[in-house]
Chain A
Amino acid sequence: MTMIFGIPLPALLGQLLIGLINGSFYALLSLGLAIIFGMLRIINFAHGAQYMLGAFSAYLLLTFTGIGYWGALILAPILVGILGVVIERLFLRRLYGLDPLYGLLFTFGLALTLEGTFRYFYGSSGQPYAAPAALAGGTNLGFMFMPNYRGWVVVASLIVCIGTWFLIEKTKLGAYLRAATENATLVQVFGVNVPVLLTLTYGLGVALAAFAGVLAAPVYQVSPLMGSNIIIIVFAVVVVGGMGSIMGAIVTGYLLGIAEGLTKVFYPEASSIVIFVIMAFVLLLRPAGLFGREA
């Protein structure tokens, strides 16, 4: 059997794949955070809770309406995105222009409320959610065995990440968004409806979180706590990447996921903290983050 640094190759690749899957979720979530922060200047603490809502929407859609995975993959982000739009219209709108910390605190409260509500009804334990039949089983890649669903997670998140990047960097709507990020007043003078743009941005960011949640439902269990577990790691990812660039958020997400997977192979005890350690080092060497601009 092929060995690398005394570790059998399949074990190494297996952890690498798990790292890549975690990285897919980190990338999707930090991408959403970066988009929302870029436009609204609000750190969306509820991002984890909205990710959890996405997973629960898939579970509830299946339980009560019989809509399966593929339907949920489209419906859940739309539903949760609409909820995000409502929240932005009703509440977040009032916080623009204040210290960004208030946005953080508000969305923190929102996260607690959402999480608490689902815990009240479903307890802390997870609900199982089966992967779709089309993606059951696995494929032998010759050097390792890969469950099909996990491969799909990586592909789907890559497609969505690149699609979002394309939307923001290459389309007219994206150009408006970027312009409004730089100077909202000027863009409004040119006749672009900036308030609507803000609402849509929040909706889009939230929908991305929900999409990640549906993707995650068959991998992890659907649990009320899944959001708060991941959001703190995603914050560290965002600190490492810097929120200046969309691509930066995506790349950092995948890289840190892989770093976490590799740590599991070589020093399992540290795997839960390795991302935080990397964050600390990045802060020492490049305080603005890998892709960030000096503020």
Chain B
Amino acid sequence: MTDANPTIRTTLRAEPAVPVSGARIAVLVIALAFLIGAPFFVYPIFLMKLLCFALFACAFNVLLGYTGLLSFGHATFFGGAAYFTAHAVKEWGLSPELGILVGVAGAALLGLIMGYFAIRRQGIYFAMITLALSQMFFFFCLQAKFTHGEDGIQSVPRGHFFGLLDLNDSLSMYYTVTAIFVGGLFLIWRFVHSPFGMILRSIRENEPRAISLGYSVARYKLGAFVFSAALAGLAGAVKALVFQFATLTDVAWQMSGEVILMTLLGGIGTIFGPIFGSALVVGLGNYLATTGFPVTIITGIVFMVCVLVFRRGIVGEINATRLAQKLGLADRSSG
């Protein structure tokens, strides 16, 4: 697709790359060290849940933050992949890595189908269509034989990763999840900084102009949708292995709402925002589960507060403040 527009491609390449500063590398090293050391201080299952949701939110953010499409149906890919992986591993006896592959492929296929219909409309209609189609998938999962309805698929074996790593050991499971998470994040980073990602951003900023420049906007949107769905599926597939079950909760619309909240809270269109957002939402959910206070009330209130007072999210606000400081300094030095 990009080959049809060679001039555009060179201009995008000619854009100065973001300088990789020392501070940035230091932050990444600290984050990595934190990920490696964390299971010795925090309950590993909780950490793995966090990583799965963080990857899910980051995948969702590719669509909302970098393409400007609000999908209200991402639970379909997350929960759908969980079902596929669980079924493949438990009933077909596949190894965990193949099971995850089945889940991701299934999610990508679902994404292709849902995206094909949803990209016909924009904005609010896009959100409503994705919501309706994912509700349809929910009903399908409720009635289909292989999902076992209300019971879900239970006691999914974790197996041996590539036949070597015994995933029943919670530490090796944790490091596998961490590796998948880091890999997924890197893939997203590459994707949004590729020429393809740049065109997606141009669609977000000004769709009519992107069309008039000759881009087949529909195909780019569909590409982004499938990519986002596949990675959401990766998160769901891994979650199915971690918790060893796949249930209707993961395909219900509340899950789609939850991932929107994580992204909104952390910062739409930032690489790390959704990670913070999901940490807060998952942490809050875990805390509230012990108090017996209904999570939905708090979730709803956080939603409303976010929309009213900090639409840029936590990381977005921090970035904006830093940018303002930089601009302020630049003003003083020039003045």
Cross-chain contact of A108 among B120, B122, B140, B303 (Cβ < 8 A): B303
Chain B interface residue number, banded: 35 or more
Q: A269-B143, A276-B133 are in contact. Are A117 and B307 (CB under 8 A)?
A: no
Judging by beta carbons under 8 Å apart, are A239 and B125 in contact?
A: yes
Of chain A, the residue at the smallest CB distance from B295 is A116
User: Cα distance A272–B135 when bound, in Å?
Assistant: 10
Interface string of B123-136 (1 = CB under 8 A from A): 11101110111011
Judging by beta carbons under 8 Å apart, are B133 and A280 in contact?
A: yes
List B contacts of A295 (CB < 8 A): 122
B161 interfacial by beta-carbon distance below 8 Å: no
Cross-chain contact of A106 among B117, B124, B128, B308 (Cβ < 8 A): B308
Interface string of B300-313 (1 = CB under 8 A from A): 11111011100100
A109 interfacial by beta-carbon distance below 8 Å: yes
A177 interfacial by beta-carbon distance below 8 Å: no
Judging by beta carbons under 8 Å apart, are B304 and A110 in contact?
A: yes
List B contacts of A98 (CB < 8 A): 311
- Cβ-Cβ contact count across A and B, 8 Å cutoff: 116
Q: A102-B307, A113-B297 are in contact. Are A277 and B136 (CB under 8 A)?
A: yes
A273 interfacial by beta-carbon distance below 8 Å: yes
List A contacts of B302 (CB < 8 A): 109
B235 interfacial by beta-carbon distance below 8 Å: no
User: Cα distance A279–B264 when bound, in Å?
Assistant: 28
User: Cα distance A105–B264 when bound, in Å?
Assistant: 10
List A contacts of B303 (CB < 8 A): 105-106, 108-109, 112
A100 interfacial by beta-carbon distance below 8 Å: yes
Rank and list the top 3 A-B pairs by shortest CB-CB distance, nearest first: A109-B303, A112-B300, A113-B300
Q: A-contacting residues of B (Cβ < 8 Å)?
A: 70, 117, 120-125, 127-129, 131-133, 135-136, 139-140, 143, 253, 257, 260, 264, 293-304, 306-308, 311
> 22 A–B contact pairs at CB < 8 A?
A43-B124, A91-B304, A94-B308, A95-B307, A101-B124, A104-B127, A106-B303, A108-B257, A109-B300, A110-B300, A110-B304, A111-B300, A112-B303, A120-B293, A232-B132, A239-B129, A239-B132, A272-B139, A279-B129, A280-B133, A283-B120, A283-B121
Q: B-contacting residues of A (Cβ < 8 Å)?
A: 37, 43, 91, 94-95, 98-102, 104-106, 108-117, 119-120, 228, 232-233, 235-236, 238-239, 269, 272-273, 275-277, 279-280, 283-284, 287, 295
Given A105-B303, A113-B296, 12 other A-B residues pairs in contact with their CB atoms under 8 A: A91-B308, A98-B311, A101-B127, A113-B297, A113-B300, A116-B294, A120-B294, A232-B135, A235-B132, A236-B132, A239-B121, A275-B132
